[in-house]
Amino acid sequence: MIALASDFLLFELTSGERIPFSAEMISVELMGDSGSVLEPEFVKHAAASVFHYFKHELEQESVSVTEFAVALEKVLRGLGCTVRSSEPDEPVHEPGEADLGRLLREAGTGGELTFFPKLRCALRTQLKFSPRLIRFHGLRGCVKQLAGARRWGPRCDCLRDQIVEYLRQCLAAELRDEECALIVE
């Protein structure tokens, strides 16, 4: 697999396809009809800020186009712009979604001892919304950081399996008569 350049993010289309874009490239794509209303340079800088947020603050390698567009729209509105999304009925985010890397950072320096209880708490929080699907993303980065590994190895395989199995067991214990799918990626 070819490594993604540091100034690119993978954008997930509704078709499931992933396309790499830089901040400048995605701002041009997302502007659409707003180009005549908003200053292109202004949108470019706002998109760069949102891009930085996803890439560096959330440490994500991929983001859905919808999620990025909603975040950009929120930033532009916060800056006093009147922005109307082209698809207003689409959800802002899925309530049954959590970032494992963020959970690990929130767990602090306690390693596995503080991470696993935090993970169960995040699962319980997501179940309050009664979702049909719960998604945890960022597994690979989380495992490497938790294992203290620079490269993937047998310890990472074991830890990955432990996290997935723990989530399955927690989900089975928390659910009674409801059905809910679990995706850990």
Domain ranges of the chain: 8-78, 97-184
> Is the per-residue pLDDT at 166 higher than 70?
yes
Give residue 167's identity as a one-letter amino acid code: L
pLDDT at 165: 94
Q: Are 45 and 33 in contact, with CB atoms under 8 Å apart?
A: no
Please state, in angstroms and rounded to a whole number, the distance separating the CA atoms of residues 95 and 90: 13
Rg (CA), the chain: 18
Residue (of 149, 173, 169, 172) closest to 159 by Cα position: 149
Residue (of 147, 51, 142, 158) closest to 103 by Cα position: 142
Residue 35: which pLDDT band, with cuts at 50, 70 and 90?
very low
Q: Are 47 and 26 in contact, with CB atoms under 8 Å apart?
A: yes
Please state, in angstroms and rounded to a whole number, the distance separating the CA atoms of residues 168 and 182: 8
First to last CA, the chain: 17
* Average pLDDT of the residues in 125-141: 85
The dihedral built from the CA positions of residue 119, 124, 129 and 135, taken in this order, carries a sign that is positive
* Average pLDDT of the residues in 40-62: 81
pLDDT at 34: 47
* Average pLDDT of the residues in 130-145: 88
pLDDT at 139: 94
